[in-house]
């Protein structure tokens, strides 16, 4: 069996590579690993609205309860909400059923440990080993887990020993977001593209509760239309809507609302790098930016580094993937990190990227400063970037080749502080990605082409 866990949980074509049988196995094994030694263990389970989520939620719930874990099903909510509620309810684990920005036929299982934290590699390996072994004991009789829910909805009702309540879980998350915003957003008009996804209800509710005037689009999920030509991966609709409604900005979420991209009042896209820069400056000014440091991945544009360096802010880089950003934030006690794709993490308020909170924080800076988003985002001047995907037979051989290392070093010396070079093996394909950024776009293209030819020849 190949490795089940990818960069963000277990993902695949629903009812094919991601079958109900696999969902049951993964959740049962995760429950065994993460609830060990805990009496009356609890798991929080949520999902996005794609149709296969109903099937997979049933399988996940069966797996968890078969391992003796009680299940608190919170329904359709964003990934960061499930992570947050996992901590609020002192659950041993949380499970989010979502394939994020992927098309509707795909789905995924994201697992959170106690406190709502993403799993590290070692824990994922233990879960996979348990699945491969298949020999763990399951309880019977009164030891089987129960489904905790509202009276009359088929779930186990609450008694004096239960300390959980489904009442107001959605509202509790909205209140959490608004409290974290810290500023009245009255006077700002925003278009929110919900991608027909998990934040279709709580996203507009949180923005309105914070005082903003909200025009919600693509907020009518039917199980089949999630991410379909909308949301953070398809920005044409929101750009048109911002202009049509003369809005101050637009915010585009993905299917599980853990990422956010923005559009200014002119319809120009504001990517994750610019969003992080705006929020980093706001947190620096308020004294909330620990060590005056932002954590970003190696894929963030050089323009972000230059802008924040000039503002006295350090950018600390990690490997690609929000899990690595999270690990560095936790390890170093830092307070802001994220990715160019729009995952932004505020450790004070959550353990994973939160698209709605990111939008609220961006609008709070607009409200506090009285400046437009275009003006605020102009601090980041994107440096031209060339990316070449090179098919290879052996990614490890490319990384080890002295000729490649020497060529990269030569290119870096040539660019100095006017550019950078990054060679990154693909995590899913036999490709090496050659990226060159330079203030001179022609030089960037020449260097990228030369390095790509060298990589292909290894």
Q: Is 100 annotated as a binding residue?
A: yes
Q: Is 256 annotated as a binding residue?
A: yes
SS3 of residue 383 by DSSP: coil
Question: What is the sign of the dihedral through the CA atoms of 143, 144, 148 and 151?
Answer: negative
Q: What Rg do the C-alpha atoms of the chain give, in angstroms?
A: 23
Distances (CA, A) of 413 to 127, 280, 290: 45, 30, 32
Distance CA(78)–CA(96), nearest Å, equals 8
Please state whether beta strands 93-97 and 70-76 pair in parallel, antiparallel, or not at all (unpaired).
Answer: unpaired
For 249, phi and psi rounded to 5 degrees? -170, 170
Smallest CA-to-CA distance from 297 within 323, 329, 332, 321 is with: 321
Tokens of 317: 């880089």
For 365, phi and psi rounded to 5 degrees? -65, -40
Beta-carbon contacts of 125 under 8 Å, excluding residues fewer than 6 positions away, are none
Beta-bridge partner residues of 438: 419
Distance CA(150)–CA(336), nearest Å, equals 37
Distance CA(434)–CA(94), nearest Å, equals 37
Distance CA(94)–CA(121), nearest Å, equals 17
Give the residue ranges of DSSP H helices in 191-271: 202-209, 236-245
100 carries an active-site annotation? yes
Smallest CA-to-CA distance from 199 within 63, 55, 75 is with: 75
Q: DSSP label at 200?
A: T
**Residue 293 CB neighbour total at 10 angstroms:** 21
Give the residue ranges of DSSP H helices in 142-262: 169-181, 202-209, 236-245
Q: Find the angle CA(76)-CA(81)-CA(83) to the nearest 5 degrees.
A: 120
Catalytic residue among 27, 66, 98, 100: 100
Tokens of 451: 């390095």
41: left (phi over 0), alpha (psi -120 to 50) or beta: beta
For the chain, how long is the longest CA-to-CA vector?
A: 71
Check if the beta carbon of residue 247 is closer than 8 Å to that of residue 265: yes
Binding-site annotation, residues for Mg(2+):
100, 254, 256, 258
Q: Residues with catalytic annotation?
A: 100
Binding-site annotation, residues:
100, 254, 256, 258
């Amino acid at each position: 069996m190949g490795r089940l866990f990818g960069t963000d949980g277990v993902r695949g074509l629903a009812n094919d590579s991601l079958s109900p049988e696999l969902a049951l196995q993964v959740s049962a094994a995760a429950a065994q690993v993460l609830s060990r030694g805990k009496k009356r263990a609890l798991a929080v389970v949520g999902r996005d609205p794609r149709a296969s989520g109903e099937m997979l939620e049933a399988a996940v719930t069966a797996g968890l309860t078969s391992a003796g874990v009680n299940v608190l099903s919170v329904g359709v909510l964003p990934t960061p909400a499930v992570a947050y509620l996992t901590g609020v309810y002192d659950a041993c684990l949380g499970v989010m059923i979502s394939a994020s920005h992927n098309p509707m036929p795909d789905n995924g299982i994201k697992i959170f440990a106690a406190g709502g934290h993403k799993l590290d590699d070692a824990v994922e390996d233990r879960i996979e080993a348990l699945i491969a072994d298949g020999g763990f004991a399951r309880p019977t009789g009164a030891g089987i887990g129960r489904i905790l829910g509202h009276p009359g909805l088929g779930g186990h009702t609450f008694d004096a020993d239960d300390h959980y309540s489904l009442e107001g879980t959605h509202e509790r998350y909205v209140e959490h977001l608004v409290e974290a915003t810290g500023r009245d957003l009255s006077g700002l008009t925003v278009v929110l593209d919900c991608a027909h996804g998990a934040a279709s209800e709580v996203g507009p509710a949180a923005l309105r509760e914070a005082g903003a005037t909200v025009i919600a689009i693509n907020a009518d999920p039917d199980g089949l239309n999630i991410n379909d030509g909308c949301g953070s991966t398809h920005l044409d609709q929101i750009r048109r809507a911002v202009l049509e409604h003369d809005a101050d900005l637009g915010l585009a979420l993905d299917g599980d609302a853990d990422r956010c991209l923005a559009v200014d009042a002119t319809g120009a896209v504001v990517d994750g790098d610019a969003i992080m820069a705006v929020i980093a400056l706001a947190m620096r000014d308020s004294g909330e930016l620990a060590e005056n440091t932002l954590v970003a991945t190696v894929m963030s544009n050089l323009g972000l580094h230059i802008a924040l360096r000039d503002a006295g802010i350090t950018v600390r880089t990690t490997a690609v993937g929000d899990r690595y950003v999270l690990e560095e934030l936790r390890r170093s006690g830092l307070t802001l990190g994220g990715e160019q794709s729009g995952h932004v993490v505020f450790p004070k308020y959550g353990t994973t990227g939160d698209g709605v909170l990111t939008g609220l924080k961006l609008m709070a800076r607009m409200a506090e400063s009285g400046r437009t988003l275009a003006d605020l985002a102009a601090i980041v001047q994107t440096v031209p970037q060339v990316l070449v995907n090179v098919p290879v037979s052996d990614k490890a051989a490319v990384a080890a080749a002295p000729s490649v290392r020497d060529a990269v070093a030569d290119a870096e010396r040539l660019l100095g502080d006017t550019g950078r070079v990054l060679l990154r093996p693909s995590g899913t394909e036999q490709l090496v990605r050659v990226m060159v950024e330079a203030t001179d776009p022609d030089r960037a293209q020449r260097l990228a082409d030369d390095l790509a030819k060298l990589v292909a020849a290894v």
